[in-house]
């Protein structure tokens, strides 16, 4: 997020919405704001600094710390100001840089992937959209759908009135068999209405009695998109428990995707199709080789970069450039050159110096 080529101030503040006592959050925000006011005076001329500090005070006054998410971010420069709320934790940060950081925004986009939850029972089908932890029930021309019990009772038919039961042309269907056929038909009818929501391999979670889950997996053409299931009927109660179970499945699915991406990097690294470490990844991105950059979400690296391209935490020689977070700068450069960025959980890239890059074309194998 960069505006008019101007440097900007970023303030990140973690919050604790589950704690009814907001005094700790207010105190943390007060200290961060004081630090921000000092930085503004150091980095901008008096007139601009005064205007920015006044704007900062107005933004702080607008904040509602009672009804909030898990973190807030304030982005500010002489011509731009914005408040963002995040539903995930962030570390306390106050920094001035040539550009606004993108790490938190990228993580929010990564978490905003949609997942659908289909709740099954012998009486109805309910569909929910889950995005960034928020639930929305789908209400369209089909959902929620009531399963009709319209299978007629089929009595046995004799071949003639004189034959007694000697020649029975048709057997009476078992009640359980009729229920199975009725549910199978209902789940088949749901396939077409489900399709628009599950395009591009959007994940699906199913919930219901074990019998209903088995019938759906056997009869639906969307069964291969099911990433998990919740046993039990939660249509009439225990909604919080149901949502908690689903959220754990979504988290496990996202974790598995990260682990698969890291495994793919390790395979490619062994064939010369990947780099690791800040310096090697930076040089490869600058050379246009970067295809997918993977960074541990909590890895932040304040660094100096010399005119010769060397990174250091202390070098302040002539021509060196200070970056409050070299990893954020690397992510922005990767995107600018047409690559992709994937943030992963901490410690997943421990063997790769916490940052890894899958290349567009191979280089020499690691020694």
85 lies in a domain? yes
Give the C-alpha separation, 90 to 31, whole Å: 16
Q: Are residues 226 and 270 in the same domain?
A: no
Q: Are residues 89 and 126 in the same domain?
A: no
Q: Are residues 277 and 331 in the same domain?
A: yes
Give the C-alpha separation, 84 to 109, whole Å: 13
Give the C-alpha separation, 29 to 27, whole Å: 5
Q: Are residues 215 and 305 in the same domain?
A: no
The sign one gets for the Cα dihedral 48, 53, 58, 59 is positive
Q: Predicted confidence band at 90 (pLDDT cuts at 50, 70, 90)?
A: very high
pLDDT for 367: 47
- pLDDT tens sequence across 101-149: 999 999 999 999 999 999 999 889 999 999 988 999 999 999 999 987 6
Specify the higher pLDDT residue, 181 or 129. Answer: 129
107 lies in a domain? no
Provide the CATH number for the domain around residue 144: 3.30.420.60
pLDDT for 133: 84
pLDDT for 280: 96
pLDDT for 65: 87
From the number of C-beta atoms within 10 Å of its C-beta (0-12, 13-18, 19+), residue 49 rates as: middle
312 lies in a domain? yes
Specify the higher pLDDT residue, 194 or 173. Answer: 194
Poorest-pLDDT segment among 37-41, 148-152, 252-256 = 148-152
Q: Are residues 232 and 270 in the same domain?
A: no
Q: Are residues 321 and 225 in the same domain?
A: no
- pLDDT tens sequence across 272-321: 999 999 999 999 999 999 999 999 999 999 999 988 888 998 877 778 89
Give the C-alpha separation, 93 to 74, whole Å: 10
61 lies in a domain? yes
Structurally, how many domains does the chain consist of? 3
Q: Are residues 124 and 223 in the same domain?
A: yes
Which of residues 100, 129, 158 is at a domain's end? 100
172 lies in a domain? yes
Residues of the chain above pLDDT 90, percent: 72
Looking up tokens 């710390």, which residue turns up?
Answer: 65
Assess contact for 108 and 19: CB atoms under 8 A: no
246 lies in a domain? no
Give the C-alpha separation, 209 to 147, whole Å: 15
CB proximity list for 330: less than 8 A, separation 6 or greater: 278, 281, 282, 285, 293, 295, 355
Specify the higher pLDDT residue, 304 or 2. Answer: 304
29-38, 166-175, 209-218, 355-364: range with highest mean pLDDT: 29-38
Q: Are residues 197 and 167 in the same domain?
A: yes
Q: Are residues 144 and 221 in the same domain?
A: yes
Q: Are residues 149 and 214 in the same domain?
A: yes
144 upstream amide cis, omega within 30 of 0: yes
CB proximity list for 191: less than 8 A, separation 6 or greater: 220, 221, 222
Q: Predicted confidence band at 156 (pLDDT cuts at 50, 70, 90)?
A: low
CB proximity list for 360: less than 8 A, separation 6 or greater: 288, 289, 290, 291
Which of residues 237, 270, 305 is at a domain's end? 237
- pLDDT tens sequence across 251-286: 999 999 999 999 999 999 989 999 999 999 999 999
Partners of 322 in the beta sheet?
304
Q: Are residues 166 and 130 in the same domain?
A: yes
- Count of CB atoms situated within 10 Å of the CB of 180: 16
- Helix, strand, coil % (nearest 5) of the chain? 40, 25, 35
201 lies in a domain? yes
pLDDT for residue 152 is more than 70:
no
Give the C-alpha separation, 274 to 291, whole Å: 9
Q: Are residues 218 and 126 in the same domain?
A: yes
pLDDT for 61: 94
Q: Predicted confidence band at 2 (pLDDT cuts at 50, 70, 90)?
A: very low
Region 345-351 average pLDDT: 96
Provide the CATH number for the domain around residue 293: 3.30.1330.30
Query: In which domain, by residue range, is 47 found?
Result: 8-100
Looking up tokens 């505006």, which residue turns up?
Answer: 3
Q: CA angle 40-42-46, nearest 5°?
A: 75
| Mean of the per-residue pLDDT values of the chain | 89
321 lies in a domain? yes
């Amino acid at each position: 997020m960069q505006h008019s080529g101007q440097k900007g101030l970023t303030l990140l503040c973690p919050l604790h919405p589950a704690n009814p006592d907001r005094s700790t959050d207010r105190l943390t925000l007060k200290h961060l704001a004081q630090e921000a006011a000092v930085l503004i005076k150091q980095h901008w001329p008096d007139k601009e600094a005064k205007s920015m500090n006044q704007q900062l005070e107005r933004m702080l006054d607008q904040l509602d710390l009672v009804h909030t998410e898990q973190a807030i971010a304030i982005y500010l420069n002489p011509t731009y100001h914005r408040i963002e709320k995040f539903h995930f934790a962030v570390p306390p940060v106050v920094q001035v840089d040539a550009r606004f950081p993108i790490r938190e925004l990228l993580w929010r986009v990564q978490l905003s992937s949609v997942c659908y939850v289909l709740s099954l029972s012998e009486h109805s089908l309910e569909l929910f959209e889950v995005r960034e932890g928020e639930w929305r029930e789908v209400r369209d021309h089909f959902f929620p759908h009531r399963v009709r019990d319209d299978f007629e009772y089929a009595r046995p038919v004799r071949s003639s009135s004189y034959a007694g039961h000697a020649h029975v042309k048709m057997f009476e269907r078992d009640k359980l068999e009729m229920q199975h056929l009725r549910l199978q038909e209902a789940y088949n009818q749901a396939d077409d209405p489900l399709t628009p929501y599950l395009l591009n391999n959007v994940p699906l979670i199913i919930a219901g009695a074990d019998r209903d889950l088995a019938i759906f997996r056997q009869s639906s053409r969307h069964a291969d998109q099911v990433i998990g299931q919740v046993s039990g009927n939660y249509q009439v109660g225990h909604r919080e428990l149901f949502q908690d179970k689903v959220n754990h499945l979504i988290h496990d699915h996202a974790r598995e995707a990260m682990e698969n991406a890291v495994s793919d990097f390790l395979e490619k690294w062994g064939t010369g199709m990947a780099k690791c470490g800040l310096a090697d990844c930076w040089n490869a991105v600058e050379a246009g080789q970067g295809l997918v950059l993977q960074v541990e979400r909590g890895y932040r690296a304040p660094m100096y970069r010399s005119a010769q391209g060397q990174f250091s935490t202390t070098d302040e020689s002539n021509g060196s450039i200070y970056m409050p977070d070299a990893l954020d700068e690397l992510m922005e450069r990767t995107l600018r050159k047409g690559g992709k960025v994937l943030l992963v959980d901490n410690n997943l890239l421990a063997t790769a110096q916490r940052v890894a890059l899958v290349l567009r074309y191979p280089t020499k194998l690691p020694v």
